[in-house]
A and B are shown apart, each in its own frame.
Chain A
Amino acid sequence: MTPGGWIFLILSWAVIIGLCVFCFRKVFQLQRSNTSEPPEIETEADVLRSDSEGKTS
């Protein structure tokens, strides 16, 4: 493996790992901060209501 090969390998890995760490850290942070909120559950009644609102507007 030449120094050029090492440079390309390390840079490529750094870009991908950096992107993964950035994204998943953010996702898990947001997930933790959202856990206190009640879960949003869509019922059939919600859909029917949004349907009728859509038709009247």
Chain B
Amino acid sequence: MAKEGKRRVRERWTTRLGVILAVAGSAVGLGNFLRFPVQAAENGGGAFMIPYFFAFFLLGIPLCWVEWSMGRYGGQLGRGSAPAIFSAFWKSPVAKYVGTLGVIGPLIIFFYYIYIESWTLGYAVYGIFGKYMGFSTQGELEAFLSQYQGLGEAGTLLPAYIFFLVTFAANFIIIYLGVSRGIERVSKVAMPILAILGLILAVRVLTLATPDMAHPDWNVNNGLGFMWNPNLRMLGNADVWLAAAGQIFFTMSVGMGIILTYSSYLRRKDDVVLSSLSASSANGFMEVIIGGSVVITAACVFFGASETVKIAESGAVNLGFVTMPLIFTKMLGGQFFALIWFALLFIAGITSSISMLQPAIAFMEDELRFSRHKSVGLLALICFVMCQFPILGLKRGLLDDLDFWGGTFLIVLFGLVQVVIFGWVFGMGRGWKELHTGADIRIPRIYRFIIKFVTPTYIAILLVVWFIQESFSVITMDNYPPQDRPYILVLRLILLALFGGFCYLIHYAWKKYPVREETT
């Protein structure tokens, strides 16, 4: 391993399929199987797919191309994190500080995401031993989940904490192994397994017979109808369009800084256009086809449409950890399918969570010239401390607050900054040329216009609407009970301090290593 302070040989992806699967693995996560069906069912059913595809083609795909292209460009300068990549595209001393969002954003998501990911591991292991197979009502499963989370009176956090430690260790071992030996190898094995598990579950759900003859309308046909029958009147509601755009941001891993870092390990002449589109299509497959077939359809078959409305309203966590286990208790071979379901979620989770760590690792290795050993050790320490907030403060809403800042607000803001830097500061002419370097397919020319005008306007509208509708209540913490607000405030101050700490590290790195090569 190269010594600290010296420029090291940057790792590279070994195969094209490897990088596609790694990016797809980053994008395919819990949101594909739990968040998407809830969003679709609540926002017009089949009609939701109209704003969804609008957002997919006008936000998701252009942003992916921009991120892939900017990342590869940064990689040629030996830089793989947003601060340095932004500096290369935007010759302003401010650029590197703005880029901090691309390092800290994915970390904020990691702080809570890994805890939920560890629940999937816990429930998979519990499924093997049939720990929740004896329950027969929603209430019993809800109590079981509360107990697992240490929230119930008789609950203890110990088992959940052990599963958290195992998941945490697994993530950092993969990251320690590096880009090609760790992330790429895991993605190449995990993604095909994920697709097979997803298909098995989808086939099982779509071939379910009517379980209760007293309710013949509780069947697969009506379950699919609940999910897909279009309510076109909902298209007049701006919230539906916002929900679709938010889903695209969340599911495609855009605006997080992850793709920037991943694509920085490409070679100069490696294609980004086709690879980016391939990863996006794989994510779409897992979301629309698998995610759209399994959860809501199964809930309708076993509980009927009116109960499914309540289930969908209870949120994605309830759907995954209460409703689905209950369905498995009623299903033939349920224990086996419960294991498949939670293994699917765990694999989807781990391929996403490792990607959230890599921007910070790249920052430490490329900018601070830390060794991998030191980078991984320091990041593990920061993450371990920060993960305690959602674990111990789950009841206080700390997990929800982290989810808002990391998984909703920052990704939209960072996406806007990124597309403006690419289309306006760097310039569309140069950007277009950069995109097509080594490209295996050409992007339709209309996307020059879309990247420059449509995508930034679309995102700006999202932010303005959010600002008008929600910013006040978010800032004043109106959506939390008064007794929880001090905890939320402390968490926000710590996140601000973390942001300040990273800004200082950037300042330090630029001062210590002032010579930065540029290829522009």
> Once the chains bind, are A8 and B49 in contact (CB under 8 Å)?
yes
Complex Cα spacing A15 to B49, Å: 11
**Stretch of B142-150, B276-284, B313-321, B349-357 that contacts chain A:** B276-284
Give the interface size class of chain A: 20 to 34
**Which residue on B lies nearest to A26, using beta carbons?**
B274
For residue A19, which residues in chain B have a CB less than 8 angstroms away from its CB?
Answer: 277, 280-281, 284
Q: How far is the CB of A2 from chain B (nearest CB, A)?
A: 5
Q: A5-B224, A16-B288, A19-B284 are in contact. Are A26 and B440 (CB under 8 A)?
A: yes
> Once the chains bind, are A16 and B267 in contact (CB under 8 Å)?
no
Q: How far is the CB of A28 from chain B (nearest CB, A)?
A: 8
**Which residue on A lies nearest to B20, using beta carbons?**
A27
Residue among B78, B230, B292, B441 making CB contact with A26, cutoff 8 Å: B441
Complex Cα spacing A51 to B228, Å: 56
Q: How far is the CB of A21 from chain B (nearest CB, A)?
A: 9
Chain A positions 1 through 42: 1 when the CB is less than 8 Å from some CB of chain B, otherwise 0:
110111111011101110110111011001100000000101
Q: How far is the CB of B250 from chain A (nearest CB, A)?
A: 17
Query: Looking at chain A's contact residues, is the secondary structure mostly helix, strand, loop, or mixed?
Result: helix
> Once the chains bind, are A12 and B49 in contact (CB under 8 Å)?
yes
Complex Cα spacing A30 to B439, Å: 12
For residue B281, which residues in chain A have a CB less than 8 angstroms away from its CB?
Answer: 16, 19-20, 22-24
Complex Cα spacing A4 to B234, Å: 15
Asked whether any CB of chain A lies closer than 8 Å to the CB of B413, the reply is no
Complex Cα spacing A6 to B519, Å: 52
**Which residue on B lies nearest to A39, using beta carbons?**
B14
Complex Cα spacing A40 to B13, Å: 11
> Once the chains bind, are B440 and A4 in contact (CB under 8 Å)?
no
Complex Cα spacing A44 to B10, Å: 9
Asked whether any CB of chain A lies closer than 8 Å to the CB of B17, the reply is yes
For residue A31, which residues in chain B have a CB less than 8 angstroms away from its CB?
Answer: 15-17
Q: A16-B288, A27-B274 are in contact. Are A5 and B225 (CB under 8 A)?
A: yes
Complex Cα spacing A1 to B47, Å: 14
For residue B20, which residues in chain A have a CB less than 8 angstroms away from its CB?
Answer: 27
Complex Cα spacing A12 to B292, Å: 10
Asked whether any CB of chain A lies closer than 8 Å to the CB of B480, the reply is no
> Once the chains bind, are A42 and B230 in contact (CB under 8 Å)?
no
> Once the chains bind, are A16 and B289 in contact (CB under 8 Å)?
yes
> Once the chains bind, are A4 and B46 in contact (CB under 8 Å)?
yes
Query: Looking at chain B's contact residues, is the secondary structure mostly helix, strand, loop, or mixed?
Result: helix
For residue A27, which residues in chain B have a CB less than 8 angstroms away from its CB?
Answer: 16-17, 20, 274-275, 278
8 Å CB interface, B330-350 against A:
none
For residue B228, which residues in chain A have a CB less than 8 angstroms away from its CB?
Answer: 1, 5-6, 8-9
8 Å CB interface, A42-56 against B:
42-44, 47, 51, 54-55
For residue A47, which residues in chain B have a CB less than 8 angstroms away from its CB?
Answer: 7, 9-10, 78
For residue A54, which residues in chain B have a CB less than 8 angstroms away from its CB?
Answer: 517, 519
Complex Cα spacing A33 to B107, Å: 39
Complex Cα spacing A8 to B222, Å: 15
A12, A44, A55 pick with most chain B CB within 10 angstroms: A12
For residue B492, which residues in chain A have a CB less than 8 angstroms away from its CB?
Answer: none
> Once the chains bind, are A1 and B221 in contact (CB under 8 Å)?
yes
For residue A17, which residues in chain B have a CB less than 8 angstroms away from its CB?
Answer: 285, 289
> Once the chains bind, are A44 and B9 in contact (CB under 8 Å)?
yes
B229, B280, B282 pick with most chain A CB within 10 angstroms: B229
Asked whether any CB of chain A lies closer than 8 Å to the CB of B449, the reply is no
Complex Cα spacing A40 to B438, Å: 15
For residue A20, which residues in chain B have a CB less than 8 angstroms away from its CB?
Answer: 278, 281-282, 284-285
Asked whether any CB of chain A lies closer than 8 Å to the CB of B12, the reply is yes
For residue B277, which residues in chain A have a CB less than 8 angstroms away from its CB?
Answer: 19, 23
For residue B222, which residues in chain A have a CB less than 8 angstroms away from its CB?
Answer: 1
Q: Could you list 22 examples of A-B contacts with CB < 8 Å?
A: A2-B225, A2-B229, A4-B46, A5-B229, A8-B46, A9-B224, A12-B49, A13-B289, A19-B280, A19-B284, A20-B278, A23-B281, A24-B281, A24-B282, A26-B274, A27-B17, A27-B20, A27-B274, A42-B9, A43-B9, A47-B78, A51-B517
In order of increasing CB-CB distance, the 5 nearest A-B pairs are A8-B46, A1-B225, A23-B278, A5-B229, A19-B281
A residues engaging B (CB < 8 A)?
Answer: 1-2, 4-9, 11-13, 15-17, 19-20, 22-24, 26-27, 30-31, 40, 42-44, 47, 51, 54-55
